Amino acid sequence: MKVLIFCEALGGGVLSVIVDQVNYLKSISNVDFDILYCRRPETPNNIHEYFPGCKLIEVPFSRGDSFFLFRLFKYLRGYEVDGYTAIHLHSSFAGFVGRLSFFKNRSIILYTPHCYAFLFKNKNFFQRLLYFFIELFCSKIGMTVACGMTELNISKKIGAKSVVARNAIRNPCCHSVDEKKYDLVSVGRIAPQKGFINFLAIVDTFARKDKVSIWVGSGDDYLYEQKNSKALVTGWLPKDELYKVLATSRVYVSTAEWEGLPVAPIEAQYMGLPVVALDRPGLKDVVINGFNGYLCMNVVELECRINQLLSDESELSRMSRNARAFAEESFTLSNYDILLDLYK
C-alpha cells in the first residue's frame, strides 16, 4: 500500500500531526508514504529527519513566488499518481488545489482542512465567502477526514462525505520538576491568528503581579517589536525542550482566534496544564469548561480565569489532574487507526 501526502503548509501544528500520523501508521502496518510539500519559513531545514523511511518531494516553488497558484496547479496536474492507493491532502489550500488537480483520481482523495479557510478572521467578508463557495464546490470530491468534532460538524453542514480522525500526539515523557518557572505559557507562530497581541496584553497585566510568562514560537517579528512587553519569547524549540518548558509552567493560555484542533494545548494537557482559551472553533474539542480549563468570551474573562487558577492551588491541582487524564484518554495515536481503513 502506497500513500501520497500533499501539504502546502508543512510547519507548526500541521507538521506535528502529519509526523505523528505517518510514523505511527508505519510502525503498525506495511504502508509506504511519499510526502509532497511546499517549503514555508517555519518548515524545518532537517525535514527529512522527521520522516524516516519516507520519500520527500519538495515542490520547486512556494507561496509568494510569481503565479504560484497557476504553477502549483500545473505541477500537480503533471504529477504521476496512478501508483498510489490514496492521496491525502492536508490544509485548506492543498485541499483546493489538490482536489482540482487530481480530480480524475477523486475516488482515492482524502482531505483534512485543519481549520476551514472561511473561518479565518483575518480575511474580509468577501474573501471568506469565496472560500466557503470553494469548499462547497469541492465538497463532493473525495472524502473529508476531519481533525476534530467541530471540523466534522462543519464538513457535514457543507455536504461533504466525512469521517473524523481526531488529532493526537505521542504520549510525551512527563518531566519531574522541583519548581515551576513560568506562570503562563503559550506555543505557536507569532501571527494574528494566534492572538499574540492579546497574549502580550495578558502578560503585562500579570507582570504587575510578578507572574512570569513565556511564548514558544516565532513568526511576524514586528508584532513583538512594536510592544514593550515582559514576555519571554524563545523561538521554536525541539520537542524535548518544549516539554521541559511545559512541565515547568502552571497554566497554558490560548489567545488563538481560529483553529482546527490545535496540537499545542493537547501537549500542554499531557504535561498536566489546564488550558484557559478564547471560545473559538477547535478549542471546544480540547477544553471542557470548568473541568480541564476554561473557555472565555474575551480577554477580560481570560484574565479573570487565569487569576482564579493562579490564586487557588487546590483548583489548579484538580484541573491539572483532569487535563492529563483527558489528554491520555482522548488524544492517543490509536485515533489514527481509521486512516488505514481509508487508505485501503
Q: Which sequence spans correspond to the domains of the chain?
A: 2-165, 182-330
| Cα of 34 vs its chain's centroid, Å | 21
CA–CA gap between residue 167 and residue 18 (Å, rounded): 10
pLDDT averaged over the chain?
Answer: 92
pLDDT digits (tens, 9 = 90+) for 121-176: 889 999 999 999 999 999 999 999 999 999 999 999 999 999 999 999 988 866 66
DSSP state of 67: T
Contact 111, 99 (CB under 8 A): yes
Name the residue with cell 525541539. 238
Sheet containing strand 293-296, edge to edge, reads 232-233, 213-216, 182-187, 249-254, 275-278, 293-296
Confidence check: pLDDT of 224 > 70? no
Contact 286, 279 (CB under 8 A): no
Among candidate residues 157, 173, 335, 326, the one with its CA nearest the CA of residue 243:
173
Q: Assign 226 a pLDDT band (cuts: 50, 70, 90).
A: low
Distance of CA 155 to the CA centre of its chain: 17
Among candidate residues 78, 271, 98, the one with its CA nearest the CA of residue 174 = 271
CA distance to 73, 139, 268, per residue, from 135 (Å): 17, 6, 32
What is the chain's length? 344
2-165 and 182-330 have identical folds? yes
Class of domain 2-165: alpha beta
The pLDDT confidence band at residue 9, using thresholds 50, 70 and 90, is confident
Residue 116 above 70 pLDDT? yes
Q: What's the distance, Cα to Cα, between the start and end of the chain in Å?
A: 7
Grid cell of 127 as nine digits: 474573501
223: confidence class by pLDDT, cuts 50, 70, 90? low
Cα 179 from Cα 196, distance rounded (Å): 27
Partner residues linked to 185 by β-bridges: 214, 252
**CA pseudo-torsion sign 333, 334, 335, 339:** positive
Q: What is the pLDDT of residue 257?
A: 93
pLDDT, tens digit (0-9, with 9 covering 90-100), for 92-106 = 999 999 999 999 999
Query: Among the CATH numbers 3.40.50.2000, 3.40.50.300, 3.90.650.10, 2.60.40.10, which is that of 182-330?
Result: 3.40.50.2000
